[in-house]
Each structure stands twice: as structure tokens, then as C-alpha cells.
Amino acid sequence: MLSEMDFASKIWILVLLLILGRWITELALEWLNRRHVLARAKVMPATLKAIVDEATYVRSVEYTLAKGRFRGFELTYSTILLLLVLFSGVLPTGFDAYSRMFGGSIWAMAGFLFLIGVALSMTALPLDWYAQFQLEQRFGFNTSTQKTWWTDRLKGLVLSLILGYPLLALLLFLVNWAGKRWWLWAWGALMVFQLLMTLLAPILILPLFNKFTPLPETSLRERLFRLANRTRFRAASIQVMDGSRRSRHSNAFFTGLGGFRKIVLFDTLIQQLTEPELEAVLAHEIGHYKKRHIPKMLVFSAAGSLLGFYCLALLAQQPWFYRTFGFQPGNTAPAFLLFALLAGVITFWFSPLAYIWSRRYEYQADRFAAEAMGQALPLIGALRKLNEKNLSNLTPHPLYSGFYYSHPTLLEREAALAAVVAGKG
């Protein structure tokens, strides 16, 4: 029969293999995607010639390859950092020193978790900075200034302190207060917090980072409100967000719930698309709402969170879980930290299932948009321009898109829209 020490050493090896397995798999996916893209870059695929000009296609290939190289470095960097954090002994040593200095109260333990989170986020700053001011800059996407970029990080840190720190303290309080069923209470508290953020973020948080102005009284505004009325989509307003302040990438979304729901268009999107194409993009977003994709995804996310808290509660009861990484059992805070560090190692392998579901929803929203518009051409035109302006990878390897793409590729979406039109005919 295995001793606790032997069992902990086997778990140590298992965790190491899982981390290295994910790293190797992700590097392999980057390699596969690079080969796949390069093989098609030699001669532009005939299916793309009617969609994008050759110069833009070459540029999109260069952008894809550059992001892939950076992604490979980022994966290696984050993997080495994770291994050092988990196996060097720095966490238990730091925890012991922190506990001697600040004690073991709920607020102190929440502070430890918060500080570790901040420290780990700081290690990612150099890569984030490079991605914005080197990679994105090289391909003409970056419009942010150093001041804006650093101010955003400072605002994010302050918001984490104001919102995240008390939430951590609440979760740790529930561990002590609710007994063995604490994970149910913690899950409920997190769900309430997320609902409040959904309601308050458009009003209190998003305006801290971007400027939102009502869409002027133009033919576009009239067109979009007619679409909303035609599809029975209630929206308090249509607003324009100054996305161009940070990037030339574009997007559209709606935010808030009930009577507080707002349609938001990036100013870059308005600059890039015609009015019928903008209407089609909004029809796609309304399609997500009418098909109830958002509540379904929220239920899926809530179920995943519930399972996560249940697994955390089970692990928090196991002395070997703490000792594997150098902690002494008796305080739940290290279990929260270890679970947060390791969760991605497991969930990575389930990402293709989640993305299959997500891509299915995108097809449904596309179909809704085509039917709401009475034709598919405006949406096809919008998708072509968005892929062109964003230098999207038009020929990803199927395995790569399966692991990382929440949306179907442009060619896949066009084929599905063509089938919708053919079916109507």
C-alpha cells in the first residue's frame, strides 16, 4: 500500500506530465498550422481569389506566421514559469513568511491570493507589451499610446483590488462558515457576482476604458432600429465605442440585460463596412439573442463553475494535495491557489468540445441574419471585409482551428450561407 509521501510523488509526476503534455501539444498545433498555411501560401488557393486580393492574402499569411512564432515563445515562457512556481518551493516558502507576518485571518489569506495573482500578471506584462507595440504595430493594428496602455493596466489593477479582493475574502469566509457544503455557497456567490457585473459593467466599468457616444441621427441609425423592431429585439440605445483609440481591429456586440441592453459598434467597424453590411452584422448579433445562445452559454459556464468548485472542495480535503506542492494541510487558501494554477492544464483538453458548440451557434446566428435580411450577400460582404481588415488566417489547419477557433473560418461560413440561400431557392 502506497504511503502518503509515495502517493504525493506520483501526483507530482502526473502533474508534471500533464503540464509538459499540454505544452508539447500546443507547440505541435502551432507547427501543424504553420506548415498548413505555408503550403497554401506558395500558390494562392483558387477559392480565395474571389474573396481577397493576393497582396492582402500574403500579408495575412505573414501576420499568421508572426503570431505563431510569438505564440510558441509565449507558450514556452508560461510553461517554464508555471513549473517554477509549482515545483521550486517559492509558493510554500512565501506563504509561510506571509502568514508569520500577517496572520491567518480571512482578509490576510485573501490578500495572499490577490498578491500572487498580481505577481503572476506582472510576469505577463513584457509579453503583452511586445504583442501590442511590436507585433501589432508592425502590421498596422496598434493605435494605442504608451500612456493609454499603462493606464489601462493600472485601472485593471485598481478594479481587481476593489472587486476581486473582497470576492476572494467572501469565498474564504464561506469555506469556514458553510461547512462541507461551502462549495455550493461559493458557487452561488460567484454567480450573483457575475450577474451584478453583467448589469453594472456597461454602466460603471466599460466607460472607464472607452468612450461611448450615441449613434448620430443618420440613415444608419434608422436602418439599425428598423432591424431591431423587425426582429423584436429591444435595445435601450445604439452606441459607438472608440475602439480606434487602441487598435484598428473591429467588432460589434450588445451588453447589459433587459431594459439596460445596449447595442455597441466599434467606430472602426462603422468606417470599414457599408450600411447594409453593418445591418447584417447587427442581425448576426441579434441572432445570438433570439436563439438564446447567451443564456445557454451562461448555463454551460455556470455548470462548469459548479463542477470546478466541487473538485476544489474534494481536493481541499486531501492532505496529499497540499504536500505534493510543499504546503502543510490545514488552510484552504493554498488549495484555491493551486487549483487556479492547474485548472487550465485540464480544461485545455476539453476546449475542442466547447468550440464545436460555439461554432454551431455562429452558424445559427449567420442563418438568422441571412433570413432577417432576406439575403446573404450583405453578411458575406461584411465577413469578407472583416477577415481582410483583421488579416485573419483564411487557411488554418483543421486541428488548430478545432482547439482555438470559436468561430468557423470564412470559407466555412460562406459555404453554410450558400446552403441557406440554395435551400430557400
Q: Where are the alpha helices (DSSP H) in 254-292?
A: 267-272, 275-290
Q: Is 255 helix (H, G, I), strand (E, B) or coil?
A: strand
285: annotated active-site residue: yes
How far, in Å, CA of 108 to CA of 331, rounded? 12
Task: Catalytic residue, from 26, 362, 366, 388: name it.
Answer: 366
How far, in Å, CA of 185 to CA of 191, rounded? 10
62: annotated active-site residue: no
End-to-end CA distance of the chain: 70
Write the CA distances from 18 to 82, 316, 351, integer angstroms: 12, 20, 15
How far, in Å, CA of 130 to CA of 134, rounded? 5
Phi and psi, residue 277, nearest 5°: -70, -40
Task: Catalytic residue, from 285, 362, 388, 414: name it.
Answer: 285
Write the CA distances from 385 to 55, 59, 65, 209, integer angstroms: 14, 14, 21, 27
Residues 379/283, Cβ–Cβ less than 8 Å: yes
Q: Which residues are catalytic?
A: 285, 366
